[in-house]
Chain A
Amino acid sequence: MANLKTTDKKSTSQSMGMHTELLTGRTQQKFFNPSEAENFFYFGTYDVDFNKRTELDVKEMTAPEVNKEIDNLMSKGFGTIVIKNPQGKHSLGVGILNKLNLIFEGSLGYFGMGSCDGPTVRINGRVGWSCAENLMAGKVVIEKNAGSCFGAAIRGGDLICKGSVGARTGIDMKGGTIIVGGDAGAFTGFMMQRGRIIILGDVGINLGDSMYDGTIFIGGKIGSFGSDAVPADLTVSDQDWLKRKLKVAEIGEKFDVSKMTKIVSGKKLWNYDNLEPAEKKGAI
């Protein structure tokens, strides 16, 4: 169990105004050498060249075969891979932990681009449920519409849909940015914990229901607010960031961001934490 202790002695972080209480407990602590050699890629990943391009027709291949072949091509140094005829297959492009420029000439089924960390992906079609689930880093652009649970539990990176998306977009997201050029369904930002969602169109009912933290920006009409989702003031910093992000997303560059509605957590549902509550201990 982690305890809260107050301390009179000022530590470095305290003197910088970061906190006044000292947390102790099970948290893992790591030390490292900041003068490590300059390296931008995970240990053991492939050194690929964006200028080295290849095409892969997957019409007659299963999803595991496609994913293994993408890995094989990366091991040969191909940095740009064009996938032809994906034909709505499920679970394509999952688990890529490499920098890569990946282009799908068609639509994907369920769970496309799940658990990726680093690639830049363009899908010239539609995507099914849970596209880019658990995305850690990178950029995924969908040219048409997306299904439900778009960007479920993402932790980082940019996920962009130029069309409209289904219900529960950004459910349980813990970081990153989701940008939608069209409309979004009900329960957008359901239980989100961190990160940002931008919807240029309208959203359905229960927007940001039970959100713990994070920020939602809406350009159109809002069906209704969910539990603990409250409007907040749109700052100049927000507007600058929105303009820059929409430019990166290649959509809504001329959109008037000053008229967007900002939604944050009201923090009234903050009744759980990563510590062990004292009353729970007492009840055991």
Chain B
Amino acid sequence: MLKKKTKTKEKKTKLGTSKETAREKMIGQHIGYRYDVNLLPDYKKITPFLKKYIEAMGWDDLNWLEDVHMGYEEGRPAVFCRNANGWVTIPKSIKLPNNQQDRDMIARELLVKFQMSPKHPLVDLKKAYLKF
């Protein structure tokens, strides 16, 4: 059975702009993701590089990249690399657009370039520890 929605007046706040929950106030720390992880991609904003990537992989859409968004790290825009388990900082030379959808597409493109680069930290690990 569906639960009835309770009518409570909640202050609408943007993720990461304030301490949203009582627990966060209690521990004095921000809990949760640094961006809206549920934001769906706007396919009108897709870049030519990402189109080529999708075509090369034989997929119909962004596939795993739908979950990639631009966040921030150390006060700078960054994208999280799940393979390296770290934030990849966006170089200062790249001018970022003013809306999240465009920024997300740039984050996706840069993440693919980073992950496929021979300079990726996993390449050295693979050389050192590959068993078969």
Contacts and interface: CB of A to CB of B under 8 A. Distances in A.
B120 A43 contact: yes
Given A30-B88, A40-B116, 19 more contacts: A2-B29, A4-B29, A13-B76, A18-B70, A27-B73, A27-B86, A30-B89, A31-B91, A33-B119, A36-B116, A40-B53, A43-B118, A43-B126, A101-B58, A156-B66, A176-B67, A225-B2, A231-B2, A273-B29
B77 A18 contact: yes
A40 B56 contact: yes
Contact of B64 (A17, A20, A32, A176): A176
A215 B28 CA distance: 28
9 contacts: A13-B75, A18-B71, A23-B34, A31-B91, A137-B64, A139-B59, A231-B2, A261-B2, A267-B21
A14 B16 CA distance: 10
A130 to B, nearest CB: 19
A52 to B, nearest CB: 13
A30 B86 contact: yes
A241 B40 contact: yes
Contacts of A2: 29
Nearest to A233: B5
Interface string A204-220: 00000000011100000
A139 B38 contact: no
Nearest to B91: A34
A31 B92 CA distance: 11
B64 A34 contact: no
Interface stretch (A84-92, A106-114, A183-191, A274-282): A274-282
Contacts of B40: 237-238, 241
Contacts of A13: 72, 75-78
Given A18-B71, A177-B66, A264 B89 contact: no
Contacts of A20: 16-18
Question: Size class of B's contact patch?
Answer: 35 or more
A231 B6 CA distance: 11
Interface of A: 2, 4, 7, 11-14, 16-24, 27-34, 36, 38-44, 50, 99, 101, 118, 120, 136-139, 155-158, 175-177, 194-195, 213-215, 222, 224-225, 230-231, 237-238, 241, 244-245, 248, 261, 264, 267, 270-273, 275, 277-279
Nearest to A21: B30
A118 B53 CA distance: 12
Contacts of B11: none
A277 B52 CA distance: 44
Nearest to A275: B29
Contacts of A44: 123, 126
A150 B1 CA distance: 24
A41 B116 contact: yes
A32 B113 contact: yes
Given A12-B75, A194-B37, A17 B14 contact: yes
Nearest to A248: B60
B34 A19 contact: yes
A139 to B, nearest CB: 6
Interface in B92-109: 92-94, 96, 98, 103
B67 A38 contact: no
Nearest to B81: A30
A213 B75 contact: no
